[in-house]
Amino acid sequence: MSTTDDRPPVDAEESRLEVGPPATHAAGLKAVQVSMTRALRQMGVVKTAKNLLTLNQVDGFDCMSCAWPDPQDHRHTAEFCENGAKAVSWEGTKDRVGPEFFAAHPIPELERQTEYWLEKQGRLTHPMVRRAGAEHYEPISWDGAFTLVGEHLNALSSPDEALFYTSGRASNEAAFVYQLFARAFGTNNLPDCSNMCHESTSVGLARTIGVGKGSVSLQDLHEADLIVVSGQNPGTNHPRMLSALEIAKKNGAKILAINPLREAGLLKFDNPQKPTGLAGLGTALADRFLHIRSNGDLALWQAFGHLLLEAGAVDEDFVRRHTVGFDEWAAHVRELDWTAVLAATGLAREEIEAAAEMLATSQRTVHCWAMGITQHRNAVATIQEFVNVALVRGMIGKPGAGLCPVRGHSNVQGDRTMGIWERSPDSFLDALGAEFGFEPPREHGHDAAAAVRALRDGRAKVFVGLGGNFAAAMSDTHVTEAALRSAALTVQISTKLNRSHLTAGGDALILPTLGRTEKDLTGGIVQRVTVEDSMSAVHASRGRAEPASPHLRSEVDILCGIAAATLGDRHGIPWRDFARDYSTIRRRIGRVVPGCEAYDEKITRRGGFTLPHPPRDTRTFPTAVGKAVFSTSPLEVMTVPEGRLVLQTVRSHDQFNTTIYGLDDRYRGIHSGRRVVFVSPEDLREQGLADGDHVDLVSEWEDGVTRRAEGFRLVSYDTPKGCVAAYYPETNPLIPLDSQALESGTPTSKWVVVRFAHPSRRIMEP
């Protein structure tokens, strides 16, 4: 059997693809120019000034481009980055997608468009319905939409036939109301984007330190003497992190970067807030760069453990007082197989030793990581290996040191705190049940991959998406799309048109919502919402811009409308009151969510408050054994069969997940196109191919299905032999649904075994 991505992958703009040399530094004047050009083109002058000046200000809105924290004190007038500005411009666009648009464009026609084209059409303005079998979306009233959802949900034979997906942009208030609704309805089916993102982190950290979140503050980064950045491309995905790295460097820190790609943002930062940065005289970042093979990290960190033991660089006191499992782990890493380490990492032993020396001599180390670590089969084991090294060195719970998983979506961490989790612990469910007077379901729900299987196998029939673009973000595009098409009802609460609106099978609703930048006057009062950043700081966010359409409703309002139409007075939950005044939700959050006592009062403080984190605050570890846990994992060297390569799927500099802002990836030298594969010169030679040739990408999996994505231009690039890279979501058709990280279930987006095949069609003309 085989599946082919037969969607025309390019539009006219894409046929102008140009490839140049990659950049060696990030940001600078160019970043400012790009931000302003995009902002002015999409929003106009007045809105640009208004939006960009309130971004991340204490009384403004929280930037939706990433979860990097805001500095508590010295905020610049323009506390944003190029990609934050792009996100704001994208939301603030003047273009609109209203009923006329849907009347003019039947769904089968829209299906042929790219993600880029779909979102570029503008902001959704009216609630729309597609009745089962119809070719067009047509307008529907809000009440009509809510009634339709209620009818479908109440017709299910079990609440577990419903799936309630969340993308990490939803506010804490929306998330809390949403999970309350799902549980009052009777299911824990709350898959979220975290399942595809940092789930491996949450699993690995909860088990070893007792809290599934990072243990540092921004101040710790500033004070560190060593910052390790593994599997992360901050120049593109967390540009404001570069300011923190710059401060740390000025304070004398060293940076160790570990990545198969020499990302510009790891090499040098030209801070656009400073004249030196604008002049290109920025700060050099990585002091040492380990050009690691994909998935070499588990072996590398076991080697670090080995070398630290050899050097006697053990914080004996910390290990004795705060940890268990040291002896077993130490015995394991002492028996290190160097041949395996060198094969897995592709590094020279001296390089590894020199990096270990940095760890051994550091007094204050911060470990940062992102998708290059979490989206692997053995991701949980790798993260536990970071923890082992941090524990050996006593690097948790002291100033300037700690674990720093860098989250993606701006409120993905907050959503989890609010109970968006298919496996919320009993303690949370007890508190929720006690507050609202009902017995929440206890059986764990479906995560993202299980949700697809449940739809595919007819065990789920309704899919509700609170934001996001599940169809394109999830792995195995053909399987996921077919699964969504088998639903009796799909509901998408969205700001922009995307693939998930077009994979409707039965009835389908598009419910257009306010964005972060927009004024929320639900219930006739000025509402604000709250969010939590990657470092557990919670604060308020309030948009100022005029809504894109008078018909838009807030996420909270929409969810309360759905809940009331579905549950009526069941359990006596005051949905209407919640929507009229979000403070009433915050008071409930304060009584249910640990660490959020007096929530509504605390978020009115300037800068908000930080959630408790026992390992960070007091070196107490709320694990099952009450101490931090060393984990022992077998050293795994993942190999690929002869003639095959391992593909990692990454973001370009001009996208936010499935939202494509433009077709340039300036830092990697790509302009006006996205269908490229970065491949080493050695692999090109070995395969008898050359830079500029076109190939199809084919992946094969144990299910016997051949998955194909067509028409990629080869780009000769400095990536380790055997390791290639291409952009997501175009490559999601290649990732088998069952190819998931052990224990966390995250799709293995950074490890897909592929081969190059002769192009079945030539798609791009140079």
Ligand X SMILES: Nc1nc2c(c(=O)[nH]1)N[C@H]1C(S)=C(S)[C@@H](COP(=O)(O)OP(=O)(O)OC[C@H]3O[C@@H](n4cnc5c(=O)[nH]c(N)nc54)[C@H](O)[C@@H]3O)O[C@H]1N2
Among 92, 210, 214, 231, binds ligand X (CB under 6 A): 231
List Cβ<8 Å contacts ≥24 apart for 33-38: 34/82, 34/86, 34/666, 35/80, 35/81, 35/82, 35/85, 35/86, 35/89, 36/85, 38/85, 38/86, 38/89, 38/661, 38/662
Among 659, 680, 740, 744, binds ligand X (CB under 6 A): 659
Closest residue by Cα to residue 63 from 47, 49, 79, 76: 79
Residue appearing with tokens 């079945």? 760
Among 240, 461, 542, 651, binds ligand X (CB under 6 A): 651
The yes or no reply on residue 258 touching ligand X (CB under 6 A) is yes
Q: How far apart are the first and last CA of the chain?
A: 33
Closest residue by Cα to residue 153 from 572, 566, 570: 566
Contact criterion met (CB below 8 Å) for 411 and 172: yes
Among 88, 247, 261, 358, binds ligand X (CB under 6 A): 261
**Eight-state DSSP code of residue 734:** G
Find which of ligand X, Mo ion, none residue 673 binds, CB within 5 to 8 Å per kind.
none
Phi, psi of 457 (to 5 degrees): -90, 10
Cα separation, 577 vs 380, whole angstroms:
42
The yes or no reply on residue 145 touching Mo ion (CB under 5 A) is no
Kindly give, in sequence order, each residue whose CB lies less than 8 Å from that of residue 488, ignoring residues fewer than 6 positions away.
Answer: 132, 152, 461, 462, 505, 506, 507
Find which of ligand X, Mo ion, none residue 494 binds, CB within 5 to 8 Å per kind.
ligand X
Among 26, 34, 128, 193, binds ligand X (CB under 6 A): 193
Identify residues 685-724 at the interface with Mo ion (CB under 5 A).
none
In the complex, what is the shortest distance from the CB of residue 237 to Mo ion, in angstroms, rounded to a whole number?
A: 9
Q: Which two tokens stand for residue 321?
A: 């007082």
Amino acid at 557: D
Find which of ligand X, Mo ion, none residue 260 binds, CB within 5 to 8 Å per kind.
ligand X
Find which of Mo ion, ligand X, none residue 261 binds, CB within 5 to 8 Å per kind.
ligand X
Among 175, 197, 227, 483, binds Mo ion (CB under 5 A): 197
Find which of ligand X, Mo ion, none residue 752 binds, CB within 5 to 8 Å per kind.
none
The yes or no reply on residue 747 touching Mo ion (CB under 5 A) is no
**x/- contact string, 724-743, with ligand X (CB under 6 A)?**
----x--xx--x--------
CA dihedral 444→448→454→455, nearest 10 degrees, is: 140
Identify residues 196-225 at the interface with ligand X (CB under 6 A).
196-197
**x/- contact string, 505-524, with ligand X (CB under 6 A)?**
--------x-xx--------
Among 159, 402, 408, 722, binds ligand X (CB under 6 A): 408
Phi, psi of 628 (to 5 degrees): -70, 145
Cα separation, 545 vs 313, whole angstroms:
54
Sign of CA dihedral 66, 71, 77, 82: negative
Beta strands in 577-657 (DSSP E): 609-610, 628-629, 645-650, 655-656
Neighbours of 502 (CB within 10 A): 23
**x/- contact string, 355-394, with ligand X (CB under 6 A)?**
---------------xxx--x-------------------
Q: Cβ closer to Mo ion: 197 or 448?
A: 197
**x/- contact string, 269-298, with ligand X (CB under 6 A)?**
-----------------------x-xx-x-
Among 408, 543, 608, 615, binds Mo ion (CB under 5 A): 408
Among 35, 51, 56, 65, binds ligand X (CB under 6 A): 65
Identify residues 536-595 at the interface with ligand X (CB under 6 A).
555
Q: Cβ closer to ligand X: 307 or 556?
A: 556
Cα separation, 275 vs 265, whole angstroms:
19
The yes or no reply on residue 56 touching ligand X (CB under 6 A) is no
Q: Which residues bind ligand X (CB under 6 A)?
A: 65-66, 83, 119, 167, 169, 193, 196-197, 230-233, 236-238, 258-261, 263, 292, 294-295, 297, 370-372, 375, 408-409, 466-470, 473, 493-496, 498, 513, 515-516, 555, 648-651, 655-659, 728, 731-732, 735, 749-750
Q: Which residues bind Mo ion (CB under 5 A)?
A: 197, 408
